[in-house]
Structure formats: C-alpha cells, structure tokens
Amino acid sequence: MKKTMKTLLFATATILLVSCGGSSEEAATTNELSGSIKIDGSSTVYPITEAIAEEFRAVEPKVKVTIGVSGTGGGFKKFGRGETDISDASRPIKDKEAKICAENNITYVGLTVAYDGLAVLVNPENTWVDYFTVEELNTIWNPSAQNTIMYWDQVREGWPHEELHLFGPGTASGTYDYFSEAICGKKVGTRGDYTASEDDHVLVQGIAGDKNGLGFFGLAYYEENKDKLRLVGVDNGNGAIAPTMETVGNGTYAPLSRPIFIYVNSNAKTRTEVSTFVSFYLDNAAELVKDVGYIPLPSTEYDAEKEKFNNFLNN
C-alpha cells in the first residue's frame, strides 16, 4: 500500500505544480497598481464586464479582476454584504436591496453602461405580420390571454385563422422580467402557456422551425440568427420602430429597450485600482459594448456617467 500511496502523492504534487504554473508570467512588468477587484451579478452584463476586464489587464496586469454570474439579485445580495466591489445589474437596484446596503453602511453609485434591446421575432415564412402595437403584444402575452387568445386572427382582424405558437425566456430570467413589466405591467407576469427556455438557442430553433411561431429575446441573439428569423417592429403610438443600434441607443425603440448598469461600492474612493477600473470601463465601453453584441450609449451620455462617477468619488 505504501508504494501506491507514494505514487499517488507524487502524481498529485506534479499536477498541482503544473496547474499553478501560469500565474507568474506577468510579474516582469512594473506597474504601480495592484490588488483585486471582485465583481458579481447579472449574466446579461457579464460579457461587457468580461471584455472590459480583459482589456484592463493589458493596462494594469497586476490588478486581479474576477467576475461571477450569480444573477442581478444574487449579485446585489453579495454587494449588500460588502463581499463585492462592483455589481453587474440588468435592472436598477430594488428598494429592498438598497435598504440592506444602507443597513450595512454601504454607499454606492449606479452607472449606466449600455443598452439592451428585446427583439420580437416571427418565422420568415410568416407573411402577414408587418408590425405589432404594444396593445397587440399585451393582448397576446397578458395572463388572461391564457387558453383564450390562441389564433392569429384574434390579435388583429385580417390575420389568418392559424394557431399562435409562443416562445420566450423562462420566468427566472431578467429578460422575462423586463418584457413582462414593459408589456403587461408591473407584477402581472405573462400567460404561462408558452414554450419557455432559459437557453435562447432553443427559442431561436423553435421560432425558426415553426411558421406560426412568435417569440422574444435579447437583440444580440437575433443579430447572430438573422437568416433564420424575421424581426418585427413595435409601435408604441409613434409608428412602428424596429430595434437597431440607433433606435435602441436613443430610446425611440420603446418600451422594449432597457439600460444596463454597474453599481460601484464607495470603497472605490480609497482604492485606486477600483476607481481606475471604473473610469477605464466608462472610457472604453462605447467600443467594447458593440464587440459583444450590445448597444452603446451616445458618447455624451458616457461623459455624463463619468462626471457622475467623479462627483461620487469627490464627495
């Protein structure tokens, strides 16, 4: 038994040594900033923060930035306990969460970093839908439509008497929360008899394979599947507007465009690495946000966010 144990131990030690080899390679560069920045929160915001962290590493290699994906709510829980420095959020902080921060003497600032648009999509073979009004979307999705609005001609006269097949994200996602609030109103939810999936690829497949399909999800998924789906504009009283870089960025694609945020703990005031990171975030967001499929704010708004952050630091 002894010999076997020795071999096992040796194998263990070798693997350990090999697996920690990568950490020292950046040590040669001389830079003033070091320390670590802990970020957690929304998986919607994650790709942006990841992109920023990746670029930041080229500038300040000694600062260790780590990012988790506990979700907006889970992120704020940790943020409220002071366990993280920055929280990614796909919605503004709730009163309940703000109260917890206050109880733990945590002050913070919320900064808008990008926009995300929710796209409403149908199958390319669908020839009848030209646009939806917000009321029509409400007719389709509100909870009382369950088991009653089952055919397209119940939504608008002139549309065919064909079954309506609905696809959307599951109730646990921030995207669902946003859509149901924007279309059906606060705390109402939507009808339950639709095909729900947390995996947006499933929704894409569902709509792409069903002539009578209708669904919604983040604009970035449409951008990747343009050939399989048809984007439908939404009329909020000012004519039908399709979500594009422009209409989402300037807010005319209402009500289905939403801002996304980061929340910064006030310990950024004393910790230069955190404040430098956040400034870097706002300086480079315009470029990097586009890279990962989201829509940047107009540059004036980034300037405004930067000013807001600087004021926060100096108070």
Partner 1 sequence: MTRGQINRLKDQAFAYFGIFCTLIGLVILAFFIGNIFYDGMTRIDWDFLTNLPSRKAEKAGILTAWAGSIWIVIFTFLIVVPLGVAAGIYLEEYGKKSKIAELLEVNISNLAGVPSVIYGLLGLEIFGRLFGMGNSILAGSATLALLVLPIVIVATREALKAVPPSIRAASFGLGATKWQTIWYQVLPASFGGILTGVILAISRAVGETAPLIVIGALAYVPFTPSSPMDEFTVLPIQIFNWISRPQHEFSINAAAAIIVLLLITFVMNGIAVYFRNKWQKKINW
Q: Are 90 and 258 in contact (CB under 8 A)?
A: yes
Under the binding rule (CB under 8 A), the answer on residue 265 touching partner 1 is: no
Q: At what angle do helices 134-141 and 174-184 cross, to 10 degrees?
A: 110
Under the binding rule (CB under 8 A), the answer on residue 301 touching partner 1 is: no
Provide φ and ψ at 267, rounded to 5°.
-65, -10
Q: Please name the residues in contact with 210: beta carbons below 8 A apart, sequence gap of 6 or more.
A: 123, 165
Using the minimum distance from each CB to partner 1, give the nearer residue, 56 or 263. 56
151 DSSP assignment:
B
Q: Which residue, among 148, 149, 155, 147, has the nearest Cα to 131 in the 3D structure? A: 155
Q: Are 282 and 305 in contact (CB under 8 A)?
A: yes
Q: 85 to each of 41, 78, 220, how far by Cα in Å? A: 11, 9, 28
How many residues at the interface with partner 1, by CB under 8 A?
44
Using the minimum distance from each CB to partner 1, give the nearer residue, 15 or 150. 15
Q: Which of 2, 23, 29, 32 binds partner 1 (CB under 8 A)?
A: 23
- Smallest distance from partner 1 to CB 53, Å: 6
Using the minimum distance from each CB to partner 1, give the nearer residue, 20 or 95. 20
Q: What element of type H or E holds 278? A: helix 272-291
Q: Which residue, among 294, 310, 314, has the nearest Cα to 113 in the 3D structure? A: 294
Q: Which of 45, 65, 114, 145 binds partner 1 (CB under 8 A)?
A: 65
**How many other C-beta atoms are found inside a 10 Å radius of the C-beta of residue 83?**
13
Q: Are 97 and 80 in contact (CB under 8 A)?
A: yes
Q: What element of type H or E holds 196? A: strand 195-196
Q: Which of 22, 158, 237, 239 binds partner 1 (CB under 8 A)?
A: 22
The first and second tokens of residue 60, run together, are: 């300040």
Using the minimum distance from each CB to partner 1, give the nearer residue, 197 or 275. 197
Q: 94 to each of 28, 58, 77, 91, 261, how far by Cα in Å? A: 44, 35, 11, 8, 13
Under the binding rule (CB under 8 A), the answer on residue 200 touching partner 1 is: yes
Binding residues among 215-244 for partner 1 as defined by CB under 8 A: 218, 220-221, 223-225
Under the binding rule (CB under 8 A), the answer on residue 31 touching partner 1 is: no
Q: Which of 159, 293, 298, 301 binds partner 1 (CB under 8 A)?
A: 293
User: Stretches 100-108, 115-123, 214-222, 242-250: which one binds partner 1 (CB under 8 A)?
Assistant: 214-222
Using the minimum distance from each CB to partner 1, give the nearer residue, 163 or 201. 201
Task: Round to whole Å and give the CA distance between 109 and 91.
Answer: 14
- Smallest distance from partner 1 to CB 305, Å: 21
User: Stretches 94-102, 106-114, 153-161, 197-205: which one binds partner 1 (CB under 8 A)?
Assistant: 197-205
Q: Which of 35, 78, 189, 236 binds partner 1 (CB under 8 A)?
A: 78
- List residues near partner 1 by CB under 8 A: 1, 4, 8, 11-12, 15-16, 19-23, 40, 43, 46-47, 49-51, 53-54, 57, 64-70, 78, 83, 199-201, 218, 220-221, 223-225, 288, 291-293
